[in-house]
Chain A
Amino acid sequence: MKKKMWGSSTILNVMYVPALLFFAVFIFYPFIEGIRISFTNWDGYSQQFSYVGFEKYINMLADKNTWTTMSNTVIYGFGSTLLQNVLGLAYALFLDQQLRAKGLVRTIVYLPVIISSLIMGYIWYFFFQFDGGAINDIMALFGAQPVDWLASGPRAVGIITFVNTFQFMGVAMTIYVAGLQSIPKDYYEAASIDGANWWSQFKNITLPLLMPAITINVVLNIIGGLKLFDVIVAMTNGGPGYASSSLSTMMYNLYFARQDAGYAAALGNFMFLFIAIVSITSLILLKRKEVKI
């Protein structure tokens, strides 16, 4: 009987054909082109070029900047994800209590999310500027010497991670609040009666039931963090040198400023593979841990 009912399901598949068409035209075809370009020495704009085999890939692996950028990207991706989720959850837990004006505070925390990352980058740049930056002003008040915050690569990476976290932790917080509110209160009551303390309740009730929310947050954060671009451009433009670059900004720089489209494409394909493997792995691992009510 089941077979008869859902027999015409294949007809329904026509419903996703429009979406597939979009992907084919605007993503797949250019993507294949991108792979082709990675095997050339094209400079990005002239009409001539030639095929150079794997040379660009070899250059990429030998370039010390690639590894700096890789590690930066990993920090941006995982660092942001970790901070956003820990802080987001902490905020969600705190703001889920009976407090007046908590809605207002939630809105305030969420506000940066809707602003373009370019603008957010500029706002925070005004904080970390050497001359007249908000933070150096405060330091001057306490008699300390002004610091050139963004001049050191590792420090810049940390600052950018912080800015990215600040901007998007509202998303994590909101999703966690929603998740928390969907856990039936009787579970907690039952646990209290059984004598479980706060931590035990958290570990055994909250966390497992929050897994779907955690999955979404972590996967989306990882992808977003690994692709980070706008904020970096606004604050340091990847500098000094490539010290705070992410794979995206390095690719942008290689393609336009360095006029090495082949190298840029090779890096782009590498980036795609890397992000794909990392995010799909995280998705699978996390989905396994989900508990269905």
Chain B
Amino acid sequence: MRTLKYSILTLIGIVHLIPFYILLGMALKPTEDTSSKWIFPTNMTMDNFVNAWNQAHLSQALINNVIITGSSVVLIVLIGALASYPLSRFQTKWNQFIYLLCISCMIVPALTILVPLYSMIVDMGGINTYWAAILTQVTFQLPLTIFLFTGFISSVPRELDEAGSIDGCNKFMIFFRIILPLLKPITATVIILTGLNVWNDYQFSIFLLQKVSVQTIPVALSQFISQFQNQISWVAAGCVIGMLPVTILYLFLQKYFIRGLADGAVKG
């Protein structure tokens, strides 16, 4: 029985690793090597990575990604948590309506609003700026954030609020001093989920960030791929580089994520 279980375990592990194995193999193969994708290269080369890095301007793209994602996440957490407190605690008819309104914004397809949104941002002078990209990303991650925060806050006992009130705190202080610190686990979840979405965003960034100097990795990579699609090894190398930052981050933060999900999803 145990061997069966471990065989299945290994099988699952291998099956889910296969795509990455193939990708890595392609990225390390020299361009002249046209052997099957299943065969891992014996003479590996880093050339593809160097080419992809330079041609796709990935160093600049990385910086842009960090700036945009970092700023967005800070704003998302603050505005989202702030908004979620009254929506979770005081479920008046009006607040319930507002809550539904916020959640329904998750459904709006990006393209229906793309052109009016783009026009508006041009008029504001925001194309190719960080702030327009950041504000747009924040807006589109807020629904999910509010969804997660309200779920979590409802699991925090109201007695804590009351205790704070008795101690002389006003409503706002209750939020900042008592509730907010307790939100750490779900905040980690929010940071990871929304951070990922912002980091990997393509549909908006392709229009808002057109200059090479402000492009994020997905945009730079997509142009690189369409430009060099006959250089498959370069494409593969580019994909690997695009994956690395988030993978490393995840490996460090996964503990918090699991705990946050547990509390948010289950108690929500």
Q: In the complex, A touching B, CB below 8 Å? A: yes
Chain B residues whose C-beta falls within 8 Å of the C-beta of A117 in the assembled complex: 200
Contact residues in B for A181 (Cβ distance below 8 Å): 262
Across the interface, B6 reaches (CB within 8 A) one of A6, A99, A132, namely: A99
Cβ of B104: which chain A residues have Cβ within 8 Å of it? 276, 280
- B89-119 interface code vs A (CB 8 A; 1 in, 0 out): 1101011001011101111110111111100
Q: B54 — which chain A residues lie within 8 A by C-beta?
A: none
Q: Write out, one digit per residue, whether chain A residues 242-281 have a CB within 8 A of any chain B CB (1) or not (0).
A: 0000011001100100000100110011011001100110
B86 and A27 form a contact (CB under 8 A):
no
Question: Closest Cβ of chain A: how far from B74's Cβ, in Å?
Answer: 13
The A-contacting residues of B in range 243-268, CB under 8 angstroms, are 243, 246-247, 250-251, 254, 257-259, 261-262, 265-268
Q: Is B175 an interface residue (CB 8 A)?
A: yes
Check A23–B175 contact: CB distance below 8 A: no
A179 in contact with B266 given A16-B98, A19-B82, A264-B111 (CB within 8 Å): yes
Q: Is the CB of B9 within 8 A of A124?
A: no
B266 with A19: CB separation less than 8 A: no
Q: Given the complex, which residues of B lie within 8 Å of A34, measured CB to CB?
A: 112-113, 116
Q: Is there contact, CB below 8 Å, between A115 and B12?
A: no
CB distance from A177 to the nearest CB of B (A): 7
B238 to chain A, nearest CB (A): 9
Assess the A9–B266 pair: CB atoms within 8 A. no
A118 at the interface (CB under 8 A from B): yes
Kindly list chain A residues whose C-beta atoms are within 8 Å of the C-beta of B100.
280
Partner of A12, one of B85, B142, B243: B85
Whether B98 lies near A27 (C-beta < 8 A) is no
Nearest opposing residue in chain A for B254, CB measure: A107
Complex contacts, B90 vs chain A, CB 8 Å: 6, 9, 12-13
Q: How far is the CB of B145 from chain A (nearest CB, A)?
A: 9
> Which of chain A's residues has its CB closest to B118's CB?
A30
A105 touches B266 (CB 8 A): no
B1-48 CB contacts (< 8 Å) to partner A: 5-6, 8-9, 12-13, 16-17, 19-20, 22-23, 26, 34, 36-38
**Cα distance A61–B122 when bound, in Å?**
34
> CB within 8 A of B109: which of A102, A120, A126, A272?
A272
In whole angstroms, how far apart are the Cα atoms of A261 and B115 in the complex?
9
Q: Which residues of A contact B236 (CB under 8 A)?
A: 126
User: Which residues of chain B have C-beta atoms less than 8 A from A16's C-beta?
Assistant: 82-84, 86-87, 98, 102
B196: which A residues are within 8 A, CB to CB? 113-114
How far apart are A252's CB and chain B's nearest CB, in angstroms?
6
Residue of B nearest to A45 (CB): B115
**In contact, A212 and B266 (Cβ under 8 angstroms):** yes
B139 touches A178 (CB 8 A): no
Residues of chain A contacted by B83 (CB below 8 angstroms): 15-16, 18-20
* A149 at interface, CB cutoff 8 A: no
> What's the least CB distance linking A236 to chain B, in Å?
15
Contact in complex: B22, A123 (CB < 8 Å): yes
Residue of A nearest to B37 (CB): A134
Q: B68 to chain A: closest CB distance in Å?
A: 14
Residue of A nearest to B193 (CB): A171
Contact A127 B218 (CB under 8 A): no
Asked if B202 is an interface residue, CB under 8 A from chain A, the answer is yes
Known A-B contacts A44-B115, A114-B247, A118-B202; the reply to A212 vs B265 at CB < 8 A is yes
Cα-based distance from A189 to B174 in the complex (angstroms): 41
Q: Which of A27, A37, A120, A272 has the most CB of B within 10 A?
A: A27
- Does chain A have a CB within 8 A of B73? no
> Which residues of chain B have C-beta atoms less than 8 A from A137's C-beta?
36-38
Chain A neighbourhood of B267, CB < 8 A: 182, 212
Contact present for A30 and B116 (CB under 8 Å) = yes
Least CB separation from A94: chain B residue: B8
Whole-angstrom CA separation of A72 from B142 in the bound complex: 29
Q: Which 5 A-B pairs have the closest CB atoms?
A: A268-B112, A30-B113, A33-B116, A178-B262, A16-B83
